[in-house]
Structure 1
């Protein structure tokens, strides 16, 4: 398998500093780094010594077993759950449920967790289990409900499931009609090119749709299909059985909420002192806990000893909220700052696989971990990949396109390629025409203005109109010239769409159904065989 390591531009300065280890202050906020082998052993020893700070393995295993038997019933998964029951630590990653698993970065997270667990097991001599945390408690429907696929040589199609009427509740609690699931599959079928793998793909997704009524379950069934044989254990953070296990931590989050708020504020201040702006909102008086009230997921704020929503149209006493935490924990939910704490309470987390944005906001949680007598797990940067199909590589060679060309300068490369084939020198000849016209027209403008001053503005406006008409003709002439090379340009646009769709990394746009339809499981097998680095990185995977 041919792979090429490259570096994508970082959009998160905090993550870049952590991954490249070029700022000791940032690394200190995490307390460890996966590149240091000693830190893995230290974290493992800490987990063994502080088992009392987590959910009992037996109770956790029973909940995981019941859920995975429904969603992910594979012998390798069942064996890994039994390992958790016996005390095995985990490498965890996660993402909000997305349509047919969402963008490819979700797949990359799972691949990284599986690879990191194997690597950690070899390093520590201990069985390590990969776990995927489905963030079903999130309520961002517009982020979860769609998938992008290539429907033609250079066409991108967005397929989305509309949100049912009602409040903004979690994705796991947003119930869908069977007709909506079927309709999205019909659109997928109509959009995907016909291949040898299309029928199997659609029948598999249709079978899953018949077994669920929400996106989270559809997501889980698809993830189990892709990764069950590799032992990836799944959990839905909004499942009632998971919530029941989390009740004691919710009580603690509420009892010590003021301390936690101060911890988050101190961490935000420390980041600013280091010259970085926090990537998550650390709001004054925010409880960093959501309450499900009727069909709304509401973020809570503190006021005069009670809790309220942002608009102050809802209020609940501290005593009632504590009662809910103890007796109805399914009515509570975490936000981005408390979820790391809850995850570490629920699971024996040796390491957490995170994307760059997540790494950035986890810098705010170190103080909160310590506040509760916990330690942050090892933070493992997610591996990142771009899949390069054989047909795409062939077109890149044909047109002299490198990945860097596509990523950073595709439009200019395309224009230059087209200009090289302009034997008429269209741009120069139109520029010459504009110049000659101005030369002829300027004396006429001057003459008109000398006769009557008011004619000067009219003449200048007339000049602009004529220049606009010349530019319009130039544009149409260039378009006509480009049509002579339409097939070649479409092939180049297809390369850009495959590697850097919509001006973004492939992993942030394209859905796994796109590649499964074209090559079956080959693309996934290549990813699972791809190089793994504890410090992350990006690889082009040719197949």
Structure 2
């Protein structure tokens, strides 16, 4: 396993500004990701209070099903004794979801290790599972390569269901059948039986999306001691209760501050990632596992579709007595995360950093400052097959990632095309069209019907010529099919559907080929800086 850093352009204007414009960070964030920023953040955390014992108890209870590893236990003790955390999070995707979920966890582990060494103090890695998210269509599928293209394999969920992932149960037998089908797509290897057994084993006692995801992640990162939290855990809600009440009381200030910041963000030349409005409440009300987004109207917190309406005092009372009936949205979740966890650094993807750019006033309204925010690292894997295809085509991985494979494929097709036949057909078309023009001129006085007949004949011959050209092209493509498919397969492997590999494929596709220790091996080798893109030769 060899790591090579790639120079990849930032993903969009926000990331370009974040990585290259110090004024952008000073405008929209509280701390720069430098020595001064980390030192100042550590001092801030030392002056804040956290229920570390309660937090540790929640984590231990949530992770207890999978049995805590020795490293996780050590990290929990450090957290209880005052250690800060590096935090990242993601939805509970099937088979961990696309690679970027695992890449983010790897980034959290690597960043905690880097800061532990750099700062000379314990720093623990924490992964915050967005179990309260209810868009099941974002997490119910896996991609695999079939016929040189990514194919989506979906696990069926009831149509229109909007329950939280943590409260959405599935039939374990149906899920097992689905997983076995995905592994058939991967193909049989020497590792398949062992790996499949471990995945099926994680299903036992975990019949919902979040607990199944957590069990897989706990096993994959046991040696790294990654700590896991479910944002929808009722036990965590009890720790969050006073903060929910405070959010209700400060809802107006949070909403107006974020909305105004987003308007400034737009004036500065960026998009509006949130579409925030002054009347937003940035909280959900939970009923029977389904979330209803609240807004503020006439002094009430309402959701018209669900028929809910609460006064500020009523919602504050719910926060005190039944906090499990409240849920954060994209604005208040980062703030809540920071209120219950001593977050030194948040690790996010490009989209997350875009909306975190708007959250400074929300943190300030709650009396705290933002953590240091850094971009996650990315990985692109070069399998044995990919390495061979790169050698045969003469392309580099960077060439494929910047879109050159398609251009090279078309250039190859042009080189092998039968130009003599194409030229001869073109001359025949020109001669025939010239003949028809002459005939049309001669018969011009014969009336409209004759002219229409001539046009009809011209159209007939054009279709025949096009048919002939297409058949000649098909014969050329068939003759050179193996060479042409190299380019298509390279795109499917490294740039599926025009996006990075990590946005499509599950890590289990690679574990099936390289073994169950694949993630631990990656974690052991992964270093670098936040935002790095690594080419990993397997």
Same fold (TM over 0.5): yes
Which is worse superposed, 432-441 or 173-182?
432-441
1:32 partnered with 2:40 = no
What is the alpha-carbon distance in structure 2 between the residues aligned to residue 490 and residue 522 of structure 1?
A: 31
**CA distance in structure 2 between the aligned counterparts of 1:119 and 1:247, rounded to whole angstroms:** 33
1:81 is aligned to: 76
1:325 corresponds to which residue?
319
- The answer to whether the 8 Å contact 2:17/2:24 transfers is no
CA contact (8 A) 1:148 1:156 kept: yes
Identify the match of residue 44 of structure 1 among 23, 42, 45: 42
Instruction: Give, in angstroms, the shift of residue 368 of structure 1.
Output: 1.2
Q: 1:63 Cα shift?
A: 1.0
Question: What per-residue deviation string (whole Å, max 9, x for no partner) do you get for residues 428-469 of structure 1?
Answer: 444344333323332223334443246545544543443233
Which residue of the partner structure matches residue 441 of structure 1? 436
Q: In 2, distance between residues paired with 1:93 and 1:312? A: 32
Q: How has the CA–CA distance of structure 1 residues 353 and 58 changed in structure 2, closer, same or farther, with 3 Å as cutoff? A: same
1:370-385 to 2 correspondence within 5 Å? 370-385=364-379
- Do residues 93 (structure 1) and 88 (structure 2) align? yes
Note the alpha carbon deviations across 1:32-59, whole angstroms, 9 max, x for none.
Answer: 222x2121111111100122xxx31111
Superposed CA deviations along residues 395-433 of structure 1, whole A, max 9, x for unmatched, are 111122233443313333112223323355454444344
Judged with a 3 Å threshold, the aligned counterparts in structure 2 of structure 1 residues 335 and 462 are, in CA distance, closer, same or farther, namely farther
Which consecutive residues of structure 1, in runs of 5 or more, have no partner in the other structure?
A: none
**Secondary structure of residue in 2 paired with 1:375:** coil
Structure 2 portions without partners, runs of 5+:
none
Q: Distance in 2 between matches of 1:419 and 1:525?
A: 45
Post-superposition offset of 1:320: 2.5
Please tell me whether residue 254 in structure 1 is matched to residue 252 in structure 2.
no
| Residues 31 and 376, structure 1, Cα contact 8 Å, conserved in 2 | yes
Q: Which residue of 2 aligns with 1:285?
A: 279
Is the Cα–Cα contact under 8 Å of residues 100 and 502 in structure 2 kept in the other structure? Answer: yes
Residues 100 and 513 in structure 1, CA contact (< 8 A), matched pair in contact too: yes
Measure, in 2, the Cα distance between the counterparts of 1:330 and 1:432.
77
Alignment partner of 1:5 is 2:5? yes
2:234 is aligned, of 234, 240, 262, to: 240
Q: Distance in 2 between matches of 1:469 and 1:412?
A: 29
- Which secondary structure state, in structure 1, belongs to the residue aligned with residue 270 of structure 2? coil
Is the contact between residue 266 and residue 367 of structure 1 (CA under 8 Å) also seen in structure 2? no
Q: What is the CA-CA distance between 1:473 and the residue it aligns to?
A: 2.4
CA contact (8 A) 1:72 1:228 kept: no
Task: Report the equivalent of 1:419.
Answer: 414
Cα distance per residue 1:181-230 (max 9 Å; x no partner): 12212312332211011111111111111221111111111111111110
Question: Following the alignment from structure 2 to structure 1, what is the Cα–Cα distance between the partners of residues 439 and 86?
Answer: 79
Q: How many residues align?
A: 537
1:489: how far off? 2.8
Quick check: 1:360 aligned with 2:354?
Answer: yes
Q: 1:518 aligns with which of 513, 528, 531?
A: 513
For residues 100 and 484 of structure 2, the distance between their equivalents in structure 1, rounded to whole angstroms, comes to 28
> Over aligned residues, Cα RMSD in angstroms?
2.1
Task: Measure, in 2, the Cα distance between the counterparts of 1:526 and 1:438.
Answer: 67
Q: 1:128 aligns with which of 120, 123, 126?
A: 123
d(CA) in 2 for partners of 1:72 and 1:270? Answer: 48
Partner residue in 2 for 1:503: 498
The answer to whether the Cα contact below 8 Å between 1:4 and 1:541 also exists between their aligned partners in 2 is yes
Q: Offset of 1:349 from its aligned partner?
A: 0.2
The question of 1:542 aligning with 2:526 is answered no
After TM superposition, the score normalised by the length of structure 2 is 0.94
Alpha-carbon distance in structure 1 between the residues aligned to 2:26 and 2:441: 69
- Secondary structure at the residue paired with 2:295? strand
Structure 2 match to 1:14: 14
Query: Quick one: distance in 2 between partners of 1:527 and 1:518?
Result: 14
- Give the aligned partner of residue 392 of structure 2: 398
Distance between the aligned counterparts of 2:184 and 2:264, measured in 1?
53
Question: Helix, strand or coil for the counterpart of 1:292?
Answer: strand
Q: For the structure 1 residues 467 and 251, does the alpha-carbon distance in structure 2 shift closer, same or farther, using more than 3 Å as the test?
A: same
1:267 corresponds in structure 2 to: 261
Distance 2:156 2:276 in 1: 32
Choose the corresponding residue for 1:338, options 332, 336, 348: 332
Q: What is the Cα deviation at residue 503 of structure 1?
A: 1.8
Q: 1:247 to 1:482 in 2, by over 3 A?
A: same
Q: Using the TM superposition, name which of 209-218 and 83-92 deviates more.
A: 209-218
8 Å Cα contact 2:220-2:520 kept in structure 1 = no
* Separation of aligned partners in 1, 2:47 and 2:135: 38
Distance 1:56 1:529 in 2: 32
Is the 8 Å Cα contact of residues 426 and 478 (structure 1) preserved in structure 2?
no
CA–CA separation in structure 2 for the residues paired with 1:186 and 1:6: 35
Give 3-state SS (helix, strand or coil) of 2:232's partner.
coil
> Which of 310, 313, 322 is the aligned partner of 1:316?
310
Alignment correspondent of 2:142: 147
Mapped to 1, the partners of 2:413 and 2:524 lie a distance apart of 39
CA distance in 1, matches of 2:417, 2:497: 27
Instruction: State the distance in 1 between where 2:59 and 2:90 align.
Output: 18
- Is the CA contact 1:387–1:523 (under 8 Å) kept in the aligned structure 2? no
Q: CA deviation at 1:530?
A: 4.9
- Is 1:480 matched with 2:479? no
Contact 2:103 2:379 in 1 (8 A): yes
Q: 1:299 aligns with which of 293, 297, 300?
A: 293
Note closer, same or farther for the CA distance 1:264–1:190 as it changes in structure 2 (3 Å cut).
same
Look up the match of 2:57.
62
